[in-house]
Every structure is written in C-alpha cells, then in structure tokens.
A and B are shown apart, each in its own frame.
Chain A
Amino acid sequence: MSDMTANETLAPPAPGYWATAGRKLVRDRAAMISLAVLVVIALLCAAAPWYARHVSHTNPFQSNLSGTVVRHGRTMEVLGAADNPLHLGIEPIGPSWRLGPYMLGADQQGRDVAARMLYGGRNSLLISFASAAVCLVLAALTGILAGFFGGWVDRGISFLLDALWAFPVFLLAISLSVVLIAHGIDFGLFRLDASSLSLPITIIGVIYVPYVARPVRGLVIGLRQSEYVMAAIGIGAPAWRILWYDILPNVISALVVFAPLIVALDLLTEAALSFLSIGVQPPAASWGTIIHDGESLIYTRPVVAIAPGLAIVITVLALNILGDGLRDALDPRAKLRN
C-alpha cells in the first residue's frame, strides 16, 4: 500500500524563501561583482600585518622622520627639504607606484601610507558596520513603537528624536574628548577607555537614528492602515503578533534599502569626528584619520587625502550595489504574493 496521495505526486515541493532569494542573488552579476570587491577589500585589510612586514618593511605606527629609503639606486630621505631657492618646507617622499616601501608615499610622520590604508580599513569598516547596526536596530525599535502605538508613545519618542537631531554633536564630541583624556570613564559594569572604539561606534550609531526612524515611523503608520493589518486587528490578533508577522518584515525591507546608505554616512561621519580626536587614537589609523592627515598635505602630496577618499567611494559603491541586489532578491512583495 503506497503512502503517496494523489496530491503529492503532482508537483515537487517549492523551494524555501531563502533558497529562492539566494538563487536570485547569485544570478545578479553586479551584486556578485560587488560582493567580490568587498571580499577583496576585507582580505586586503586582514593582510595588513603581512604587508607591513614583507612589502613595506616599515612599522606604520612609528614615526620615521629621519629615515631613508633606496629608490632607483639612490638613497633618499623619507622627509626631505623641498627644492626651492629658500629651502623652505619639507616634503614627504612621493608614491613609487610599485609594490614595495612607500608605494603610496609617506605622510608627514614618514609612515608608509599604503600600510596605514590597510590597517585603517580594518578600523573604518568595523566602526561603520557596527554603528550602522546600532543605528538600524534603534531606529527600527523607535520607529515601530512610535508608528504603531501612536498617542503618548509617539509623542514621547518624537520629542526625543527631535531633540537628538537638533543636538550639537560636535560639542558633545569636544567635551567628551577632553573629559576622557587620560582616564576614560568607569560605568561600573564596563570601562570606557579613551581609545576604546565603542565610543565612536555609539556616538555615530545614535546620531543617525532620527534620520531612519522617521521614515520607518511613517511607513508603520501607513501599514497600520492597510487592509491585512486591519483584518488582523479585527480578528483579535495580539499586538506582538501583528508587529512580528506583518509590520516587521516590511520594516526590514525598508531598512535593507537604508542600510548601505547609513554605512556610507557612518564612514563619512567617522572621518569628520576623527578631526576632533574621538575614536581612533594616534598612532592607530582609520580612513578618516588618514584623510585628516592628508588635508594638511593636499598641495604637496594629494595622494594621502585622495587614497582613503577613493577607498571609501569604492566600498560604499560595492555595499550599495550589493544592497540593491539583496533587496531585489528578498523582495517581500514577492513573498506575500506567493
């Protein structure tokens, strides 16, 4: 006696949601190229210690103001006097454009820019991804609560968001940087050290919460009016069920669109905040601190400012194209219709 019923012999079982999404993604060529680029960038940054030791032969965290390097058979100073009638000014050595010491030249402390770029990538990527995560989670939370429950909850949360958006972050940053100068703060449970990365991650994560929370709130308000939510309320479904099954997936879809944009903004904010010495401390590097160093070398060695800027552009591009691909693959509309 066979177990198979007539229905089961008719069609093979449909593939799951994630399998479908995965397959769609793999077929998206642009997204795959971007993924590859991101992986390469991550690998390069991971290889930073190897590069510093075997290719550039320098310690990228030690000043090298009086060092020399051999180029084209000649021994040149890493920081040499500029060539002008008054012997005014000092110029760091320029890029050699080939694999070896000072491929991208030196900065004003005589350190190898290419090696610092790789180490810097580690910190920049970590800070921007972590703070983006913080931002999106908090924005989803506040936006959903405000949009779904309305009334006093909405008013309270909107008040906080307004205050946060209007708040002068730079003042807080300056003040914090002075307070934390030598000692860090003790929060009982954990210690906030001056060089801890959790500080820039938290600050950058929190300041963009209103930017994302408001559209999420608007979205949730709209969703609350939609037929299927009304229906769910009508049949007496509890709030958490509606939130989890009906509201959250749509919010996630919106967040996926925002995510790469927020990572981009966070990368740039890190550059701006590093100007105020919050976050990555010298002699450690991040793409932001290298841009800051490069700003005072813009007329003599523009590559020091251009290289990290380019790195940010490429990373952001890749993230966004990948993000688009993800969004297309995960399109919840398709899920609902199926």
Chain B
Amino acid sequence: MWSLIKPSRRNLRVWQVGLLVAVFVVWHVLTAPGLVKPFLFDNDQQAAFFFGEPLKILQRVWGWFFVSADIYVHLWITLLETVLAFGIGTAAGLGMGLWLALSPLAAAILDPYIKAANSMPRVILAPIFAVWFGLGVASKVALGVTLTFFIVFFNVYQGVKEVSPVVLANARMLGAGQRQLLRHVYLPSATSWVFSSLHTSVGLAFVGAVVGEYLGSSQGVGYLILQAEGSFDINTVMAGILVLTAFALLLDALVGQAERRLMKWQPKAGETEKL
C-alpha cells in the first residue's frame, strides 16, 4: 500500500495536487465560521474576515468565469499588458545586450547609467508613466518594460561575454562575417542565458501590469483587486490573486515549452555527457 502512495517520479502530480487540496482544506477548517473553536480571534467571524474562505473564493472565481463572465475583459487587459511588456522588454534587452557586449567602448560609457537605472526602484515610475501615457494599457506596459528589460539585458550581456573563444575563432576561420557571427554564434550562445532570464522576467512583466493597474486604471485584474480592497472584500481579493497566480504559472509554462523546443541541443540531466 505504502509503495503505491510513496512519493516518486510517477505520482509526482498526484502529490502536487494533493498538497494544494491539503492547503485549501486546512485553510477552510481554520476559517469557516463555527467549525473549530476560535483560538486566536474573539469570535468565529473574524478568521473569515481576515483570511477569506476558500469555498467563497472558489465560488467567486467560478462566478467570474462562468456565471457573470465579467472577468474576461479584465483578464484580457492584464494579459495584454503582460505580454506586451514581456515582448518589448525582452526584445529591447536582447538588442541592447548584444550591442553593448559587442562594442566595449559604448558599454564602458553607458556602464554607470545602466547601473543607476537598474538600481533605481522602478515602481515609483508608475505615476510618472500614468501622466505620460494615460491610465490605459500603455502606462502599464511601460512599467513592465522597465522591469523586464534589465533582467534580459544583463543575461544577454553576460551570455555574449561568455561565448567560447575557440568556437568563435573557429567560426571566423570558417569564414563567418560579423553578421554571421552574430546570427550563428553570439545569439545561439546567449539563448541559454536568455531563457533562464525569461522565467524571471515573465513574472516581473505580470508584476508591472498588476502594480500599474493597482495604482490607477479602470480595467484589469489589478483594478478588480483594488476595488475589492476598498470594500474589505477579502474573498474577492484572494480570488483575484488566485487567478493571477494561475495565469502567471501558465505563462511560465509557455516559456518553458519554448525553451525545451529551442534548447534541445543542450545536454539534459540524466543523459550522460560524453567527454
């Protein structure tokens, strides 16, 4: 019996789902009014007020998607902002990273500015972007771009710097010109670094979108959460967080999918690398 339920590679998913269910069950038992005697709060309503009730939260999510069906427009806006910020930030980071890694003089000149821009807390730019780009999608995209850009940039920069000098010399001897080196050596060599950064940056693009909405908007999941907080509706806030988390996971999975497709030349764990 134990051999069947013992955690292993085969029943990984079962355990993962089981853990999720367990968290929800504990949450439910501790917050549902009247289920257990209150030991932290004065009365049995307070736990539900502060932490929300999983059943109501799931009901809210269900309602959003299938009953009132009013979340789609908000979700669409948030995802659009995320994907745009992610795409623009990644492309800009890639371009800038390649450029600076290949022209050391430009890199030396811009170095202090890049360090300064990166260490600046960029969330405080959100109000400025709202003034510049309005309360629509553009200001959230701008915030997301400032968050994702640097992650991708630094990784590409490092990736290009670490191109094997032998592989590079070999490609040159084989007759590769500057553009071919860029296309066939620098770029592929940097991709493994880029992908490790994409997992982080897709999450940050989400943060940019939601924080932007939170600070001023009329649409989006961040806006929904803000509205709910205004009326101390913890269940709706939690439902919003739940939906956002699910979609962040989904985006991350998509990045992982692309990574597996593009990085199939890399030796994988479990497959011995012959030397």
Query: A and B from one assembly?
Result: no
Q: B-side interface residues toward A, CB under 8 Å?
A: none
Q: A-side interface residues toward B, CB under 8 Å?
A: none
